[in-house]
Amino acid sequence: MTKRNKLGKAFIILGAVSLFAALFLVLWNKYESDRAKESADKALSQLMEKMPETTISSEEAQQLKDNGSLTSDDSYIPTIEVDGNLYIGVIYIPAIDTELPVMKDWSYANLDIAPCRYYGQIKNSNLIIAAHNYATFFDRLDELNAGDEIFYVTVDGVCYEYEVTQTELIDGGNSYIMRDNSDKWDLTLFTCTWSGYSRVTVRAVLK
């Protein structure tokens, strides 16, 4: 076999391996996404059963807080336990037809189940929520535009309505910027790009 033939065969083998690896990655991502959707749907169903049937607006909640009917401790985060995990609320994004439970604390294990609170909290108007870029999670965040609505309902039944102000890409190595600037917006959502090098970041303010 000539050197040219050997080289050509090597390229064919390399191409086949690359194609197989790409196919495996696509199938694995779909498997992970489907598994995450199953976990999130199950958690959402159980969470909704335990949450109050009637919700109140953030303005009504503030009035109750001022009257002493709700806790005034801004460090307190109400939670509901589902299958050993603590959840703090439900996020609904109509523009991308997404409704998901939100876990209290983020970890890589928790991110495989549902979106997680990455930093801050709702009462301090600096909540940051992170989620994987699964098709059933935050994959479509980059489709959101200024003016789109986001609804977040806490487990104690308070509904917060937000309006998207901007969508941006933040370098993955500069994720601290997301936290340091979080006080400029009432709500931040983010997820990784498929390359993993950047973060699709959505900023929103309370309406």
> For residue 41, what is the domain's CATH number?
2.40.260.10
Counting Cβ atoms within 10 Å, is residue 49 exposed (0-12), middle (13-18) or buried (19+)? Answer: exposed
pLDDT of residue 151: 97
Per-residue model confidence as pLDDT tens digits over 129-142: 999 999 889 999 99
- β-strands 149-154, 85-93 pairing: antiparallel
Q: Using one digit for the tens of pLDDT, what is the confidence trace for 86-102?
A: 999 999 999 999 999 99
Give me the number of domains the chain comprises.
Answer: 1
pLDDT at position 12 over 70: no
Domain ranges, residue 177: 3-206
Check residue 68 and give its pLDDT: 63
Least confident span in 4-8, 61-65, 155-159, 174-178: 4-8
Rounded Cα distance between 202 and 143, Å, is 10
Q: Rounded distance, CA 67 to CA 65, Å?
A: 5
pLDDT class of 19 with cuts at 50, 70, 90: low
In one-letter notation, the amino acid at residue 192 is: C
Segment 107-128 mean pLDDT: 93
Query: 167: which DSSP letter?
Result: E
